[in-house]
Structures are given as C-alpha cells and as structure tokens.
Amino acid sequence: MGRSVGGLTASFFGRADTAGAQWADAAFALALSAIDLIFFLPFTMTQTVSAGTAACHPSTGARLVADVGGTNARFAWQAGPGLPLEAVQVLPCANYPTLQLAAHAYLAGLGRGMPQHAAIAIANPITGDQVRMTNHHWSFSQRAVKAEFGLTTLRLLNDFTALALALPALPADELRQVGGGDARESAPKALIGAGTGLGVSGLLPDGRGQWVPLEGEGGHVTLPAATPRERLVVDGLTRLYGHASAERAVCGQGLFDTYTLLCEADGVAAPGCTSPADVTTAALAGSDAQALEALTMFCAFLGSVAGNLALTLGALGGVYVGGGIVPRLGAWFDASPFRARFEAKGRFRAYLQAMPVWVITSAQSPALLGASRALDGVA
C-alpha cells in the first residue's frame, strides 16, 4: 500500500506531511474508536457483568462446612446461604483413615442426604489439587473429593484464613480484651492461635468496605529467644528438629518439648508430666516448677511472635488470639508475660501499647462460619 488514501497509510508507516494527510489520520483514529465501541465494548461489558454476577451471588443449596485440624475435624450443616450452622459435631481425626470417611460418617449420622456445596478449612497450605496434611496422615485430591460427594462447589482454604474471614462477624461477648486501647476501623487485623500447630493470618481492607484474608504459613518463622533460658530451649528444639520455628514451641507438642528440655537442664530425672495437658494442669495448679516455667515461656514466645505479626501488618485494627490452648487458660493468660513481650519492640513499644488484643472465646469453632462465608463469595 502507498500514500494514495490522503496520508492514511503514512500514519502507520511514516509521517504525513500534508494537512489533508493529518485530517485523514484523525478521521482514521476516530473510525477505529467507533469500531472499538461497536464490536469490543459489548464483549467487555458482558465479561465484567458475568464475572460480577458470579462473585456476588452465593451458591444456593445445602452446604457441608468443616474445620479440620491436626487432632479433630469439626463438621456442620448449613441449609443455605445466610442460614444458621446446624448439627456441629467434632470427630477425632485418628478414628478415621481419611477425610472422606470422616465426612461420610458425619453425613450418615445426620441423615439429611448429600450437600450440594462444601467448604473445608484445613490446617495446611493449599497449593494445588493434592493436599497432604503436615500435622496428620490425611491426604486427598480435591477433584476426587468433589466427584465422590457429587458436589457442585468445593472450596478449600487454610483454617486460619477461614477464621480470619469470621473475625468481622464475631460478637463482642465472644472476645476478651487483653490490654491496649481501641481498634481503628478499616485498619488491618492480625490473627494468631496455638493448638496442634501455630496458625497465623490476618485481614487487610480492600478500600471498598470489604476485607482480604491472608493465607500463609507464618507459624513457621524462626523462633526468637529473649532470655538465656529461652535460648536453652531454642537450642534444644534446633537439636531435635533442625529448625526452631515458632510452631515448635508455641503449640501443644511444643509446650511439652519445652517442659522436657527444662527438666533436662535442671536435672529432673523423672518429670511428673507426660503430656501437654499434664503440663498445663500442673502449671495452673503451681505444682510443678518446670511446668509453670514452660507455660510461662509459651505465653512469652507467643507474645513475641504476635508482636512481630502486628508490626508486619500494621494491625491497628487489633490482634486476635485463637486456637485451642490460650482460650482455656482464662485469666491466667491475661496475667502472663504475653502482653509485655507483645509490646517489647524497642522504639515501637508505644505503637504496640495502643493495639488491642482479643482472645477469641467462642464455644463453636468460628472457622466454620469463615468457611461458610468463603462459599458466600466473601473471599
């Protein structure tokens, strides 16, 4: 093609050097814009509306929601979006060879047929179709589970991501404040909790009045030591496991390992505690010096890690403490070194002093509510 169309081709391949050519270039650009409006805009609008519709309308039909930890699997039934969670049941993971068998047992006992949708909050990273739990023997394929139960929708998410989704819906009477002032609205929220492992998550504001949950494995950050006795424990955990992560000390097994290491260091030949529950009971009763020190150190470690998380997220919306251990400690936890270690961040002490910390005291697992909210399209 040459320059025969009033400089039109020149605007593509060269420079137009006449007024007529410049006019033709402008006309050509206007024509292209019109073509875009006629042919491409409807397509773009259709795609956007379709995507928005899918995101805004929660799935209808009966739902199975689950919160799967390393020790127990909690199941609940929800007849539809926005309806109450019913028939909550706790099944010991050790009693079932697979997650599927545990779910079948729950559904068979319930007698309401099969659900159309399911959301499973699990104490594990979700990185692909195949899920292999790090603190339990269960492993499964998401596609296989969806096919086995005939599900229209299957949503898997980390258990603390699910718990984070539930935070804005928690009533005030299910939260106990441990120090700090008032939370700032629409500011990041941090979440941490110890049980079989150490879960970490949070919520970030999206600028449109909604929240974005964080999904990660913050419990496996390196464990900080602030005293010689803590250094002794960190060195012992490193010797046992190769890496002393926060979870190695701040979980049920970690509490027992800390107790054992302290007994070894103090020359206690026959420790009186043989399980994490024994350590907690003896510590609260004041009947075992090493148990008391182990539980005190547990709370101090948790405070340090929670303070690090709060600084990382800028959690002026507050810090929430969940999991299976801390809520059972009651007022003892409030008087423990947790808060002092949470704030012990040098130049940022005043910044952290203002941050409220709440212990989640819900009788029913809030992660079940978070899993339901995930099906609603909240995340």
Q: What percent of the chain has pLDDT over 90?
A: 74
- The first and second tokens of residue 43, run together, are 């397509």
Where does the chain hold its CATH 3.40.367.20 domain(s)? 171-361
pLDDT band at 135 (very low <50, low <70, confident <90, very high): confident
Are residues 171 and 363 in contact, defined by beta-carbon separation less than 8 angstroms? no
Helices (H) and strands (E) in the chain, counts: 15, 13
CB atoms within 10 A of CB 114: 12
pLDDT band at 363 (very low <50, low <70, confident <90, very high): confident
Mean pLDDT score across all residues of the chain: 85
Write down the CATH superfamily of domain 63-165+368-375.
ATPase, nucleotide binding domain (3.30.420.40)
How far is Cα 265 from Cα 247, in angstroms, rounded to an integer?
A: 21
Residue 112 DSSP SS3: coil
End-to-end CA distance of the chain: 53
Question: How confident is the model at residue 216, as a pLDDT?
Answer: 83
Question: How confident is the model at residue 376, as a pLDDT?
Answer: 87
- pLDDT (mean) for 245-253: 97
Are residues 65 and 365 in contact, defined by beta-carbon separation less than 8 angstroms? no
Handedness of CA 302, 306, 307, 309 (dihedral sign): positive
Whether residue 83 is predicted with pLDDT greater than 80 in this model: the reply is yes
- pLDDT (mean) for 19-40: 38
How far is Cα 352 from Cα 149, in angstroms, rounded to an integer?
A: 47
Fold assignment, 171-361: Hexokinase; domain 1 (3.40.367)
Residue 220 DSSP SS3: helix
Question: How confident is the model at residue 365, as a pLDDT?
Answer: 86
Tens digit of each residue's pLDDT (9 = 90 or more) over 189-199: 999 999 989 99
Please, what's the b/e burial string for 214-223 (b: 16 or more CB within 10 A of its CB; e: otherwise)? bbebbbbbeb
Where does the chain hold its CATH 3.30.420.40 domain(s)? 63-165+368-375
Of 57, 341, 346, the C-alpha closest to 178 is 341
- The first and second tokens of residue 276, run together, are 């994490």
Whether residue 3 is predicted with pLDDT greater than 60 in this model: the reply is no
- pLDDT (mean) for 14-40: 38
Tens digit of each residue's pLDDT (9 = 90 or more) over 48-61: 222 222 333 445 68
- The first and second tokens of residue 7, run together, are 């400089």
Question: How confident is the model at residue 148, as a pLDDT?
Answer: 96
Q: Give the least confident one: 33-42, 107-116, 249-258.
A: 33-42
